Structures are given as C-alpha cells and as structure tokens.
Amino acid sequence: MANYFTLFSCHLPLGKAENIEPALAIYRVMQDQKDQQGETLGFDADHHPDLSPDGVFLGADGSGDPEHVIDFVLRCAEAFDLQGLWGFRWALTCSRGRLDGFGGGAHLLDLGRRETVGWLDTEHWLQSRIAAAPERLPTVSHAGHREGARR
C-alpha cells in the first residue's frame, strides 16, 4: 500500500509583530471549523521570533492542503490589509513508486486585491505540454544528446 504526502513550508509576513497573535487566532478558528466538519486543517501555523519578528510560518509534513493555506492567507490579507504579491509551492510525494505519486505546484496571490494571480500544477502542466507538442519533436536523452535528430 502506498502513502501519499503533500509537503510545504512557507512564511507569511504580516507587516508588524502586533498581527501575529490575531493571525494565530484566525488559524485556530479555521482549525475549529474543520474539526466541526470532521476534517483536519491541512497545515500548521507557528511564529518563530528569532527567524521572523513579524510573520508566521506555515507548513505541512505529510497531509498538507494548499487550498487551506490560500484561505488562511486571504483571511489574513483582509484582516491586516496586506498588500503585494505572495506565493508558495508544495511537493507531492509517495512512499512507493506510483505514476500518480509525484509532482507539485505553486500558487501566487495578489494580497491587496485578495485574488489569485496564477497557479501551476506540474501534472496538468506536463500533460498539456505533451498534448500540444508536435509529433516529431526530437527528444533529449539523459546524457544530453538529441535522439531522432540528424547528425
């Protein structure tokens, strides 16, 4: 049996140290909401003052949920009037060799507008590029030599 994991670690700057406790309160509210729904919140939030006096670290070491992180960050952007671009990336891994077991993604938010600027899912990106490619593209071997190309 294979186990699937979603892993990430990122930092959300909150502008000032006074926003840390209210941000962690937002996190606890989200945690309670998920508990009431019989679910778990797909990330941990913590403050490490020695690394960031005005931000929180968000991470998951196995059962991460990027959508939950996006929801949290947008709630914080609204609560603290955060501005600018912010993003994070995640890895999808598997305990065994499975074709659907590895990948990842990234998500970019405009905090001021409270909306997604763009996102990338490596599986969908790769499949769309393969589907759009001309049939006679030369391939590159791991040694860096073009295969199927004239010499």
Q: Mind listing the pLDDT tens digit for each residue in 71-94? A: 999 999 999 999 999 999 999 999
> Does position 148 have pLDDT exceeding 60, yes or no?
no
In the chain, the N- to C-terminal Cα span, in Å, equals 46
Cβ(22)–Cβ(12) under 8 Å? Answer: no
Tokens of 97: 């060799």
Percent of the chain with pLDDT over 70: 89
Domain boundaries, the chain: 4-147
Question: Which single residue is written with the structure tokens 């030599």?
Answer: 145
Which residues have a Cβ under 8 Å from the Cβ of 69 and sit 6 or more positions away? 8, 10, 42, 43, 58, 88
The larger pLDDT score, comparing residue 141 to residue 134, is at 134
Task: State yes or no: pLDDT of 151 exceeds 70.
Answer: no
